[in-house]
Amino acid sequence: MESLFYVRTPSPVGPLFLAASAKGLVRLEFEGRMQKLNPSTTPLRESKAALAPYLRELNDYFAGKRREFSLPLDLRGTKFQLACWHALLEIPYGETRSYRDIAQAIGHPRAYRAVGMSNNRNPVAIIVPCHRVIASSGSLCGYGGGLDVKRKLLDLEQASLHPCLPLGIGA
């Protein structure tokens, strides 16, 4: 029987829950919106040490020092969900795409609502960047962590792409 290692941790966008298998990260969720795990079929063992590499990369991301995550993922979902989540991984840091863009990227151009539902079920927030998906109009919509968190993540990425440069006043 497989068991998962987990840890709960504070972050700049609120408490997070992380869980990993031997293959990679299975969950990164906002504490208030966790999808159910069945401990009778998948026992959970708390281990900050097992999740330490993921925590380091997240800390680097929040500090504006990391634009890509390098640790393995163990994504679990339907074939359609996996296609959506892999398309999300292709969205460059600091950029956004529409639900329609993702639907076209996976070969289902009219399935943008289904893409939205797949994003809603994304088990690895932030690293599988569903926060980078916006409405075709350019407005923010739908995010499991809340629109305020989505805005914070997008602002964080924009700020580290365009850091303030010194003006050279008095030079």
Contact by Cβ (8 Å): 82, 75: yes
* Nearest CA-CA partner of 120 in 61, 62, 80: 80
Contact by Cβ (8 Å): 121, 144: no
Give whole-number Cα distances, 23 to 2, 27, 125, in Å: 11, 12, 18
Distance CA 93, CA 43 (A): 34
- Domains in the chain: ranges and CATH: 4-62 (3.30.160), 79-161 (1.10.10.10)
pLDDT given at position 127: 97
Helix/strand/coil for 168: coil
Per-residue pLDDT of the chain (171 residues; tens, 9 = 90+): 788 999 999 999 999 999 999 999 999 999 877 666 666 667 899 999 999 999 999 999 999 999 999 999 999 999 999 999 999 999 999 999 999 999 999 999 999 899 999 999 999 999 999 999 998 888 888 887 889 999 999 999 998 876 655 555 544
Burial classification of residue 164, based on how many CB atoms lie within 10 Å of its CB (0-12 exposed, 13-18 middle, 19 or more buried)? exposed
The kind and range of the H/E element at 143 are none
Report pTM: 0.88
130 an active-site residue?
yes
Selected catalytic residue, list 84, 130, 141, 164? 130
Q: Torsion angle of alpha carbons 87, 85, 29, 67, nearest 10°?
A: -30
For tokens 């030079």, what's the residue?
A: 171
